[in-house]
Amino acid sequence: MNGAVSQALFNSQGKPVPREQTQAELDRRAAASGQIKPADRYTLADRLEEQARRFADKTFLIYRGQNLSYAEVDASANQMAHLFYAKGLRAGDVCAIAMENRPAFFFSWFGLVKLGVVVAFVNTQVNGRPLVHALESTGAKAVVLGEECLSNLLATDGLPDLPWWLIPDSENPYLGSLPAHVDSTFTEQLAAAPRGAFPRDLRADLPAEVTTLLIFTSGTTGLPKAARYSHMRWMSSGDVMEVTLKATADDVFYCCLPLYHGAAATSVTSTALRVGASIVVRRKFSVREFWSDVRNHRISVFQYIGEICRYLLNQPPAAGERDHSLRCMLGAGLTAESWQRWIERFGPLQVFEGWGATEANANLINVDNRVGSCGRVPDWSKTNLRLVRYDVESDSHPRDAHGFYQRCEVGETGEAMGFIVDHPNIGGGRFEGYTSAQATESKIRRDVFQTGDAYWSSGDLLRYDEDGYCYFVDRIGDTYRWKSENVSTQEVADALSDLPGLELINVYGVQVPEQEGRAGMAAVLMQPGQRFDPEAFYALTQARLPRYAAPVFVRVSAAADLTSTFKLRKIDLQRQGYDPQAFSDPLYIRDEQSGTYQPYSTQVLARIGLLAYAGDSRG
């Protein structure tokens, strides 16, 4: 075991790491983040070409038996750049990419940035109005379309009149006739394009602070917003994670999250490129193939979403599980319970749990391996992050006698906000915003602690302990009030997530006729072959939760309602509430008299003092 990891794990379960030690790590990250200045004439494409010369023969991408070197990836991107230029794209234009994880995604992306074109990543799962919105809100002039996403196009009416350049997909060939506006000859034209260096002149005047990517936020309600991501911020992500992960050219990164999502396209790709490492690209995350991929390719680093770790933990134990090459993992959403189970089962990995957002101008990362924490602030004077008091009941921020917001004290839950740095020579702390000026302004709070200041509003509730360790609590709006108490959906879900046989749990508050606040409800999805045990669930709530936080209702779902980035949707579930006329899933009510969750009936509902929805006649 690595000595530093061993020490970190010891400290995560015993005494906290000294503040000075943590701060020294954070200072190294801060220094790395400032290497690229806003005005530098240095872009993502420049870094790619620089590393392609330095690591020419080194493997960059590994995909289904293909090993593509840095030089090969760069040459393929050159071909794309020459063809895109011939088709009329120029620096500052926006071009969308709708494609699943595969080498052609990287070739297209890197080819576009060689021209100075802004690249908009389109969710491969969307069609209809969300697809139209994605193209209209980014102002895309063309779309690079993977054949695997062609069905989304065909299922959508009202698309803007754009050229669609088709990239074939041998794994998912389309057998029907193509629409007239889809250019099926793109590949033939590409084969004839030169592989030599694309002239840098077209992007030579672009400063690092200009936008290179438009990445849609993966919200669970409404239409997503396109967040701006500058060259500077993208490259700084790699610079910062190099020192955080102690990454080198010997590392092999695992890209199993969709590339259109910020995590895979930013920290994984930018860090691997920064150090000359390899990336194993998987089309989609697979529980069945995960560990075989790790062993076959000697993967050392992977980026997770909390839910995929739960999927892996739900698999039956197998011989040799701790015999693997992973040395660290980074991501968000790993609960303390899952984290502890992970390191006990798969070995003492360094876990870099973090907090942030695609558009965030502030972030946290746990460099100490403190189980359950998303980061630490040893010295609040050295960060632009602040936790601001928030009142759930009134959905507002309490003010002091002078009308300013109030900072949280130890143990208090508050909204995370990032002070917006506005300085021509400083890149860190900027809020780059969205393509929509209105959406950008909606996330800014002004005159927060003093007249004239400005903060990015995250919408996330966090708290911190006496040692400075921070913990994610919930999203504003997901925390609800019941029996005069505030209830965090995330904390309830975490407390109940190890119910035997449970695959997923989604906790939310639902309106109850003639009651103040919202009653707790849990939608549960059981693993294949497992049945929901109402008595065991009741016993777990008794052991883990205060009475007011225990879900009043349980809905046993047939399938999970997830976004493509593994976030649980709640809005439709909240709207349906506990109305048995709105869905056919089995529904249970918490009954303290019998000490279990009883199948729904109006009699049980009346016994616990709640009303049925209008029109409900179920006995």
Residue 180 in this model has a pLDDT that exceeds 90: no
pLDDT above 90 (res 320): no
- Average pLDDT, integer, range 286-306: 95
Judge whether 455 lies within some domain: no
Mean pLDDT of the region 131-144: 95
For residue 602, pLDDT beyond 50: yes
Q: Tell me the CATH number at 505.
A: 3.30.300.30
Q: What is the mean pLDDT of residues 35-58?
A: 98
Q: Is the dihedral of CA 214, 206, 59, 239 positive or negative?
A: negative
Query: Residue 407's beta-bridge partner residues?
Result: 388
What is the structure's pLDDT at 566? Answer: 54
User: Which H helix or E strand runs over 231?
Assistant: helix 231-245
Q: Where are the alpha helices (DSSP H) in 445-546?
A: 489-496, 534-544
Please give the model's pTM, rounded to 2 decimal places: 0.84
In a 10 Å sphere around its CB, with 0-12 CB exposed, 13-18 middle and 19+ buried, how is residue 618 labelled? middle
420-425 own/partner pairs: CB under 8 Å, 24+ apart = 420/361, 420/384, 420/444, 420/454, 420/455, 420/456, 421/361, 421/384, 422/454, 424/38, 424/39, 425/37, 425/38, 425/39
Extract the tokens encoding 508: 């939310």
pLDDT band of residue 130 (cuts 50, 70, 90) is: confident
Number of domains within the chain: 1
Residue 299 located in a structural domain: no
Range with the lowest mean pLDDT among 3-17, 199-213, 542-556?
A: 3-17
Q: For residues 333 and 551, which has the higher predicted lDDT (pLDDT)?
A: 551
**Does the structure show a pLDDT above 60 at 515?**
yes
pLDDT tens column, 230-260? 999 999 999 999 999 999 999 999 999 999 9
Q: Is pLDDT above 90 for 218?
A: no
When mean pLDDT is compared across 30-34, 557-561, 593-597, the lowest value belongs to: 557-561
**351 HSE (CA, 13 A, CB side):** 30
Give the model's pLDDT for residue 352.
98
**Quick one: pLDDT band at residue 2, thresholds 50, 70, 90?**
very low
How confident is the model over 548-577, as a mean pLDDT? 79
- % pLDDT > 70, the chain: 95
For residue 204, the SS3 value is coil
How confident is the model over 286-308, as a mean pLDDT?
Answer: 94
pLDDT confidence tier of residue 561, bands split at 50, 70 and 90: low
In a domain? residue 568: yes
Could you tell me if residue 76 is inside a domain? no
Task: Please tell me the least confidently modeled range out of 138-142, 371-375, 437-441, 564-568.
Answer: 564-568
Task: With CA atoms as reference, report the closest residue to 573 among 554, 590, 589.
Answer: 554
Q: Is residue 598 part of a domain?
A: yes
Burial of 7 (0-12, 13-18, 19+ CB in 10 A): middle
The more confident residue out of 8 and 375 is 375
pLDDT tens figures, 444-471: 999 999 999 999 999 999 999 999 999 9
Task: State mean pLDDT over 110-128.
Answer: 94
Q: Please identify which residue in the block is written with the tokens 């994605």.
A: 134
Helix (H) or strand (E) holding 525: strand 518-526
What pLDDT is attached to residue 565?
Answer: 54
Interior CA angle at 47 toward 217 and 233, to 5°? 35
| Domain-located, residue 489 | yes
Q: With respect to residue 89, please indicate whether it lies within any of the assigned structural domains.
A: no
Name the burial class of residue 428, with classes exposed (0-12), middle (13-18) and buried (19+) by CB atoms within 10 angstroms of its CB.
middle
Domain that holds residue 545: 480-607
Assess if residue 198 is contained within a domain. no
